[in-house]
Amino acid sequence: MKYDIQDTDIGPILAVADHEGLRYIRFQQGTHPMDIPEVWEKNSRFLAPVFDQIHAYLRGALTCFDLALAPMGSRFQKSVWAALLDVPYGHTASYRDIAVAIGNPKACRAVGGANGNNPIPIIIPCHRIIGADGKLVGYSSGLSIKKKLLALESAYIVYPK
């Protein structure tokens, strides 16, 4: 695994990838920073495309990421994460919307769990998921980061309508 950490407007971000694609994004000042195993190699050049896009997104110059993603998780989790990728920039959806999108409308709580275990936040936009009542609910890295990301996107439109 190769990694890099860069400072951003929302704090230091760790990105981890290998030859298959991006594996992890972590907000190192969030509620769940990641420890870096000694066997990982710091490689800014390898992660440059990831950070170029993250910085462009945080400047408001990028609304859709184009990166190879390789999240590790169960088949159910991967189905939820794939559905999250369909929630457009500047929009929000509820856990129920995602449960319906994956063909399992009663799986709202399980969708919440998968959303909370998303290993690639920002790029897989779990921050766009809100409660059915329109309220902000949990974010694995803390609600303050979620609020900043939603404010950046001005995301107060519920999707789908």
Tell which residue, 161, 92, 85, has the closest CA to residue 125.
85
Structure tokens at 77: 């989790």
Longest dimension (CA), the chain: 47
**Cβ count within 10 A of residue 38:** 5
Amino acid sitting at position 40: W
Tell which residue, 120, 140, 115, 87, has the closest CA to residue 20.
120
**Distance in angstroms (rounded) separating the CA atoms of residues 5 and 136:** 28
Bridging pattern class, strands 21-27 and 41-42: unpaired
Q: Any catalytic annotation for residue 64? A: no
Which residue in 87, 126, 130, 149 is the catalytic one?
126
**Distance in angstroms (rounded) separating the CA atoms of residues 94 and 5:** 31
Amino acid sitting at position 83: A
**Active site positions, annotated:** 126
